[in-house]
Amino acid sequence: MTTHKLLLLPGDGIGPEVFAEVEKVAAFLGQAGIVRFEMERGLVGGAAYDAHGQSISDADMQLAHEADAVLFGAVGGPKWDSVPYDVRPEAGLLRLRKDLELFANLRPAICYPALADASSLKREIVEDLDIMIVRELTGGVYFGEPKQIIDLGNGQKRGIDTQVYDTYEIERIGRVAFELARKRKNKVTSSEKRNVMKSGVLWNEVMTALHKREFADVQLDHQLADSLGMQLVRWPKQFDVIVTDNLFGDMLSDVASMLTGSLGMLPSASLGETNPKTGKRKAMYEPVHGSAPDIAGKGIANPIAMIGSLGMALRYSFNLASAADMIEKAIAGVLDKGLRTADIKGAATSTVSTVEMGDAIIAELRKGA
Ligand code: NAD
Tens digits of residue pLDDT in 52-106: 999 999 999 999 999 999 999 999 999 999 999 889 999 999 899 989 999 999 9
Q: Which of the listed residues 231, 259, 287 is the one where a domain comes to its end? A: 259
Domain total of the chain = 2
Task: Answer yes or no: is 112 within a domain.
Answer: no
Distance CA 296, CA 17 (A): 8
Tell me the per-residue pLDDT of 193-247, one tens digit each, with 9 for 90 and over: 999 999 999 999 999 999 999 999 999 999 999 999 999 999 999 999 999 999 9
**What single letter denotes the amino acid at residue 240?**
D
Task: Answer yes or no: is 204 within a domain.
Answer: yes
Split at pLDDT 50, 70, 90, the class of 257 is confident
Tell me the per-residue pLDDT of 155-208, one tens digit each, with 9 for 90 and over: 999 999 999 999 999 999 999 999 999 999 999 999 999 999 999 999 999 999
Report which protein residue has its CA nearest ligand 1's atom 38. 290
What is the model's pLDDT at position 349? 66
Domain that includes residue 169, residue range = 130-259
In percent, the amount of the chain with pLDDT more than 70 equals 99
Whether residues 95 and 162 share a domain: the answer is: no
Interacting residues of 113 by C-beta distance below 8 A, sequence separation 6+: 127, 128
Task: Write the burial class of residue 224 (CB in 10 Å: 0-12 exposed, 13-18 middle, 19+ buried).
Answer: middle
CATH code where residue 97 lies: 3.40.718.10
Whether residues 136 and 253 share a domain: the answer is: yes
Nearest to 94 by CA among 69, 72, 118: 72
Whether residues 135 and 238 share a domain: the answer is: yes
Helix or strand holding residue 131 (H, E): strand 130-136
Whether residues 96 and 203 share a domain: the answer is: no
* Mean pLDDT taken over the chain: 94
Task: Answer yes or no: is 288 within a domain.
Answer: yes
Whether residues 99 and 214 share a domain: the answer is: no
- Other beta carbons within 10 Å of 336: 12
Task: Answer yes or no: is 63 within a domain.
Answer: yes
Whether residues 282 and 203 share a domain: the answer is: no
Report which protein residue has its CA nearest ligand 1's atom 34. 76
Q: Which of 50, 217, 226, 336 is catalytic?
A: 226
Task: Answer yes or no: is 232 within a domain.
Answer: yes
pTM: 0.92
Is 250 a known active-site residue? yes
Task: Answer yes or no: is 120 within a domain.
Answer: no
Distance CA 4, CA 84 (A): 36
- Gyration radius of the chain's alpha carbons: 21
Q: Which of 250, 280, 325, 345 is catalytic?
A: 250
Task: Answer yes or no: is 81 within a domain.
Answer: yes
Distance CA 320, CA 330 (A): 16
Q: DSSP for 337-362, please give it.
A: TT---GGG-TT-S----HHHHHHHHH
What is the model's pLDDT at position 348? 67
Q: Which of the listed residues 232, 259, 286 is the one where a domain comes to its end? A: 259
Whether residues 236 and 144 share a domain: the answer is: yes
Task: Answer yes or no: is 265 within a domain.
Answer: no
